[in-house]
Structure 1
Amino acid sequence: MSTSPLFHPLSLGELTLPQRVVMAPMTRSRTAQPGDVPTPMMAEYYGQRAGAGLIISEATQISPQGKGYSFTPGIYSQAQIDGWKQVTDAVHHNGGRIFLQLWHVGRMSHPSLHADGQPVAPSALAPDAQVWIVGDDGIGRMLDCPVPRALTTDEIHATVEDYRQAALNAMAAGFDGVEIHGGNGYLIDQFLRRSANQRTDAYGGSQANRIRFVTEVTESISDAIGADKVGVRLAPFITQRGMDDSEAIDTILLAAGEFNRIGIAYLHLAEADWDDAPTVSLGFRRDLRAAFSGAIVVAGNYHKASAEALINEGLVDAVAFGRAFIANPDLPFRMQRNLPLADIGDPSTLFGGNHKGYTDYPDYHQQLKQSLI
């Protein structure tokens, strides 16, 4: 059996993770309609993967305004809270731990999802991107994001309150904590970058102003549920979706200092995972360690050996795996024993659909039995 550093315990706030293989947040678009309500099938899916050191749920909209894709879950209605309670019960019953990822997409949305036909953002700038929308014919398509409407200052304050209430709702649903989605070109990331934020008020212009929104969101949530139950996800190296900004790294390091002051449990970096993505420099990793004393989780194109190397060098504390967890519900079990990993069968099952490509991937023992039949 492996003696990998991936399988050493890790303190994360008040939680002790038995190992450091984290399940990354992955949109799967399988909620019940209408209402974007989590289902018993979702509870089965997450319960199957409770062997992760920590599960970070799929991105979950904090309000109707925060929605950007079809069939993604929310955490603002009682029906959604009750639906998520089935999920947390299943994970805890199987010995796991789970955080809810809180999400507002900002301009990464489509008019069909909004009563007034217009998404919102820091500034009225289109992202040059598409989102997955299911039409009246029941078929999902990638559709262009329009020019959004710029949020007023009062609306920004109201959105901070939406985040706070969503965190309280998550705790009512039985989650162990929340992760604030501040990456991948969504609303918080839009505030951080000059390419998406051209405001001239207290939320735009200087780096200090551009981190104000995420700082207020993080402080508000931490005051509501405890900073030790809060993580933040950032995407320092994303350039697509109109997010290219030469100040991005400096801005994120400045924000990391604020997160350290607030005392949150961890930072989660969504690192570039495409083939020609930039290499994350040791300098950046060391600068982040200097700015933030909590745990650091990374997600990208990692495998066991590369994850072990970063942990051994003291540059990160845990590594999140995405697609590997889809096809291998018992991924930590397989990794610890150096067992072969299954591949995703049909990529068309990733978004939307039923149990196929969702809850029907067998664990290693089930797979072995099937191969002997």
Structure 2
Amino acid sequence: MATRNVLVINCGSSSLKFALISQAHPQPLLAGQAERLNSPETVLRWWRGDRIRRQRELPGADHRIALQALLPLVEEAGGDRLYGIGHRVVHGGEQFTQSTLIDAQTLAAIRATVPLAPLHNPANLLGIETAMQLFPDLPQVAVFDTAFHQSMPEHAYRYAIPERFYRDHGVRRYGFHGTSHRYVGQRAAEFSGLAVGDSCWLTAHLGNGCSTCAIVDGQSRDTSMGLTPLEGLAMGTRSGDVDPNLHGHLARVLGWSLTEIEHLLNSESGLLGLSGLSNDMRSLEQARSQGHRPATLAIEVFCYRLAKSLAAMSCALPRLDGVVFTGGIGENSALVRARSVAHLPLLGLALDEAANARCVGGATGAINAPGHPRLLVIPTNEEKQIAQDTLALLDAQPH
């Protein structure tokens, strides 16, 4: 069988990330992003398998122009063996419990979830519709961040508010980062020699956005994000959990509008808000080493809140086969892993300091001390998971 390539597209409101994934290669044949779309500074950046980074200015380009500029790069990198296109879609609501072939019905259902993800789903839709115009003969697949968490039991996803808000408006916990949690949960089982269908994991996806997940036999049983990606952990610029009455307090005391409060909690809080310095963990670790107290506090809050969340997620597990760290921070910050694990002696967790220090920069490995529960560092690969889902769906279609 000829090698099959899948183009993976992740469309934001002002950016478009892409990767050309091949069955025959562990690394993408092509990857990059178009940034600052619809502005004079629009630029397309990409790299091929040789890792040499290239860029092209595209002043004023929109999503369609950026995708058109991408076409010759895809053809050059992958030949004519493009088999399908996989799209990341942030919110699938309750309707989508798995990845789905895109047709008119799928598009209408994604459009209906826009009120649940007003910042993300319109951009995801724009990318899908543009790709369908440019590639009318290629099958396209939607892979939803929320789908993996649709296996959560009702007692985990319902809020303690009147039932009519759930029934009439879909107000419940959905969770996000599902593609990443699913991928690293499977990889953790493979790495440990366990069956995916008979293994129990706590996973921590730590980047600018952060979430934890309890995975039992390959299914999500609970996760830290909720109706929106604001619930749960302290993140790069998001506050995570706060007293729900903070909104009312700020409105009464400061006269702030809902828009101002939402901006504060989503864009000015988290690591950035606590440190007053940066939302980038690397910058904060450097500042901490130089005695910067707010940076030190930001890291301590981040790690304590992560440990609290992992402990809470353990309620959903019948047993613990291991804890998995992933995402930019989870894969690269030995300090964050060490500080977080130090808060969890009741779970029996302990680090091997040398192994922890070695597991950075894309390394996969176990970092637990001998005789203690597994602590694993596993790089996530959402693009690969999206490509795998796309191929699996296309293979299942009648020919």
| TM norm. shorter chain > 0.5 | no
Q: Which has the larger radius of gyration?
A: 2
TM category, shorter: 0.3 to 0.5
Which fold has the larger relative contact order, with Cα–Cα distance below 8 Å and residues 6 or more apart in sequence? 1
**TM-score for the superposition, normalised by structure 2:** 0.30
TM-score (norm 1): 0.32
Q: Hey, which of these two has a bigger chunk of helix by percent?
A: 2
